[in-house]
Amino acid sequence: MTLAAIGQPVAAEGRWWARLALATLALVVLAFMISLAVSIGEIPIPLATTGKAVANRIFGASFELSRIHEGIVWDYRLSRALLAASSGAALALSGAILQALLRNPLAEPYVLGISAGASTGAVAVMILGFGYGVLSLSAGAFLGAVLAFVLVSALAAGAGGGADRIILAGVAGSQLFNALTSYIVTTSANAEQARGVMFWLLGSLAGVRWPDVYLAAPVALAGFAVAVFHARALDAFTFGVDAAAALGIAINRVRMILLGATALMTAAMVSIVGSIGFVGLVIPHAARFLVGPAHGRLLPASALIGAIFMVTADIVSRIIVPQQILPIGVVTALFGAPAFAIILYKARRPV
Amino acid sequence: MSISVRDVHWSAGGAMIVDGINIEVAPGRTLGLLGPNGSGKSSLLRLICRLRNVKSGVVSLGNTDIAAMSRLDIARRVAFVEQQATTDAQVTVLDVVRLGRTPHRGPLSPWSSADDAAVHAALCHVGMPGRAGQLWHTLSGGERQRVHIARALAQTPSELLLDEPTNHLDIQHQLEILGLVARLPVTSIVALHDLNLAAMFCDSLAVLHRGKVVAAGAPEDILTERLMADVFGVRAHIERSAYHGRCHVQYRID
């Protein structure tokens, strides 16, 4: 690496066609990973069969396929892969937004207490039986997440607002809800339930079906649209809140919209797949290393890389231990952390 | 008047920081804001561009009360250079100066040639056109300050507010920056600590003490030995410089 290249983003000042080519390449890679995710599994399915099954369903083609294969592709694996992509994109996007808004490189989607609230909501339904069977686990987790976010926001606003107050309030909220979760689990759960809770907390894509995708994908897309619309406002936060305001950004409104969008995205994903860690914290940094800090490029890059990363992590979680599926949160951290260490090392600042 | 401040009060944490200030600056003129630490200079600058809202009183740009202007309209007109604003992001000089175009662009409108021209002119004004690609964290304190000023100029303001812009600058760059501000055809208010530089480059001065204006007018009229003792708590000898004809403050330490 030459001296000039150290610390410089890999593709920061590319021409527009270079960026377009990069985005296209990322989309192709994502599509390829999704088809791999559909093909790999206990019953291997050739890529051609996958393509035919998808064509049958979407374009009404009539390829001859075994009903079992078509069912596996369409009902189980494709929905699962698409959900992995949606949640990866949404979490990475939330992380990128929060890191800019709070001006803190350690900010991540769970900094607002959302995952802690979701887990409390989930165990309240799973173990205490809240909602009398009407509330699903996901609905309980979503309500818990929203409740935690509202509490944390109120506390942050009461403490005078500001990035550091929001982070501190988030820490307090997370601790509170984590303690509640532990309290419920230790006092009320049997061994079987406790194990189930632990699996849920580490994140799992098992049991994902199309209705989950119909919720997650639009949420991720809408979140992406909102984020890109505010990309320049996020850039303006580079030198802090006052600097952003002096550049004409309506900071309170932008903050409310973006915090709300990240909270909704995160709450939706956490309630469906559990609190998958690491993605929201680290993918934005990886993306920044590739395309630089300008949000017009960073946000799409984070979303795409997050989606690719999560689909890949899902594949790995299914094949790394034979006959067993690892929680996806374990895989994201186990493989993401060393990869991130390499990025940190490569991007080190010349002292 | 380009900027007029009428009977403005502002308090924080129960303490009156800005206590009934009146200031007027004519278009194109440069006002130097003097006063000891904590006298309310920074707060007043923030009130003028509505980063803080006045408790009472009126700040006007032209003939418009800024309370009635949108944040965007204010930003298209007034640029503000904070003291020591920094970032951990891996931004380049060009990235930072381009931020100045934010109020002039819609959320999705593409980068225009007018934007490019404004950014280039701003970089030339501060003498850094060749440094556009350099990373922020490799700049010296003085260079950072010049980049901030370039960012403010890229905003193409008609009013420019600077909070101690010469902090961290070596004497050559202090003179350059203040000379630049004085020459620019915009209305400027500059908070300064160096009284000699203020007397050299500002058309008029306002001296703040405990949130009030205690003296305002041409430098040679208001910089007196009495004022130095009352406001700054130092003894000084003030004379008209035989060399450049402006006020020259010499401090006495006996």
Residues of chain A with a CB closer than 8 angstroms to some CB in chain B: 7-9, 12-13, 103, 105, 229-233, 235-236, 238-240, 242-243, 245-250, 288, 292-294, 349
> What percentage of chain B exceeds 90 in pLDDT?
62
Nearest to B102 among A232, A242, A292 (CB): A232
pLDDT at residue number A123: 87
Structure tokens at B85: 């604003």
pLDDT at residue number B192: 93
Minimum distance, in Å, between the CA of residue B93 and any CA atom of chain A: 13
Q: Is the C-alpha dihedral spanning A13, A19, A25, A30 positive or negative?
A: positive
A273, A204 in Cβ contact below 8 A? yes
B76, B105 in Cβ contact below 8 A? no
pLDDT at residue number A132: 66
DSSP states of B104-128: GS-SSPPP-HHHHHHHHHHHHHTT-
Three-state DSSP class for residue A230: coil
Enumerate the H helices of chain A as residue ranges: 16-39, 47-59, 67-71, 79-101, 114-126, 137-158, 163-188, 191-202, 210-229, 231-236, 241-246, 251-273, 279-291, 295-319, 328-346
Angle made by CA atoms A275, A279, A282, in degrees to the nearest 5: 135
In whole angstroms, give the CA distance from residue B65 to residue B2.
12
Of the CATH numbers 3.40.228.10, 3.20.20.70, 1.10.10.60, 1.10.3470.10, which one belongs to the domain with range A26-346?
1.10.3470.10
Considering chain B, what is the average pLDDT of its residues? Answer: 91
In whole angstroms, give the CA distance from residue B71 to residue B74.
5
In whole angstroms, give the CA distance from residue A212 to residue A232.
32
In whole angstroms, give the CA distance from residue B205 to residue B192.
10
DSSP states of A10-43: TTTT--HHHHHHHHHHHHHHHHHHHHHHHH-SSS
CB pairs under 8 A between A and B: 82
Nearest to A247 among B75, B92, B107 (CB): B75
**ipTM of this predicted complex?**
0.89
pLDDT at residue number A6: 37
- One-letter amino acid of A3: L
Q: How many residues does chain B have?
A: 254
**Mutate which: B47, B48, B50, B51, vs A, most A CBs within 10 A:** B51
**Do β-strands B187-191 and B159-163 pair in parallel, antiparallel, or remain unpaired?**
parallel
Minimum distance, in Å, between the CA of residue B161 and any CA atom of chain A: 11
In whole angstroms, give the CA distance from residue A32 to residue A55.
16
DSSP state of A237: G
Q: Which domain holds residue B36?
A: 3-252
pLDDT digits (tens, 9 = 90+) for B6-27: 999 999 888 889 999 999 999 9
A214, A86 in Cβ contact below 8 A? no
pLDDT at residue number A15: 66
pLDDT at residue number A347: 67
Which CATH number covers residue B139? 3.40.50.300
pLDDT at residue number B156: 94
pLDDT at residue number A135: 72
pLDDT at residue number A262: 92
Count of domains for chain B: 1
pLDDT at residue number A339: 78
Domain boundaries, chain A: 26-346
Closest of A214, A264, A248 to residue A91, by C-alpha: A264
Crossing angle between the packed helical segments A328-346 and A191-202, to the nearest 10 degrees:
40
Query: Which residues from chain A sit within 8 angstroms of residue B150, using beta carbons?
Result: none
CB contact under 8 A, B100 and A247: yes
User: End-to-end CA distance of chain B, in Å?
Assistant: 44
Nearest to B105 among A8, A232, A243 (CB): A232
pLDDT at residue number A189: 78
Nearest to A246 among B75, B92, B96 (CB): B75
CB contact under 8 A, A233 and B107: yes
Closest of B7, B18, B99, B21 to residue B52, by C-alpha: B18
pLDDT at residue number A1: 31
pLDDT at residue number B203: 92
pLDDT at residue number A9: 47
pLDDT digits (tens, 9 = 90+) for B19-54: 999 999 999 999 999 999 989 999 999 999 999 999
Instruction: Please identify every stretch of chain B with a pLDDT value under 50, giving residue numbers as ranges.
Output: none
Cα A297 to Cα A141, A230, A260, A284, A291: the distances in Å are 32, 12, 22, 11, 6
Residuewise pLDDT in 10s, chain A (351 residues): 333 333 444 444 456 777 788 889 999 999 999 988 988 887 888 888 888 888 888 887 788 778 888 888 888 889 999 999 999 999 999 999 999 998 888 888 888 888 889 889 888 888 887 766 667 778 888 899 899 999 998 998 888 777 888 889 999 999 999 999 999 988 887 888 888 778 777 888 887 888 899 999 999 999 999 999 999 999 999 998 899 999 999 998 999 999 999 989 998 998 888 888 889 989 999 999 888 899 999 999 999 999 999 999 999 988 888 778 888 888 888 888 887 788 778 766 654
pTM of the model as a whole: 0.88
**Could you tell me which chain B residue has the CA closest to the CA of A247?**
B75
Query: Which residues from chain B sit within 8 angstroms of residue A243, using beta carbons?
Result: 82, 85, 99
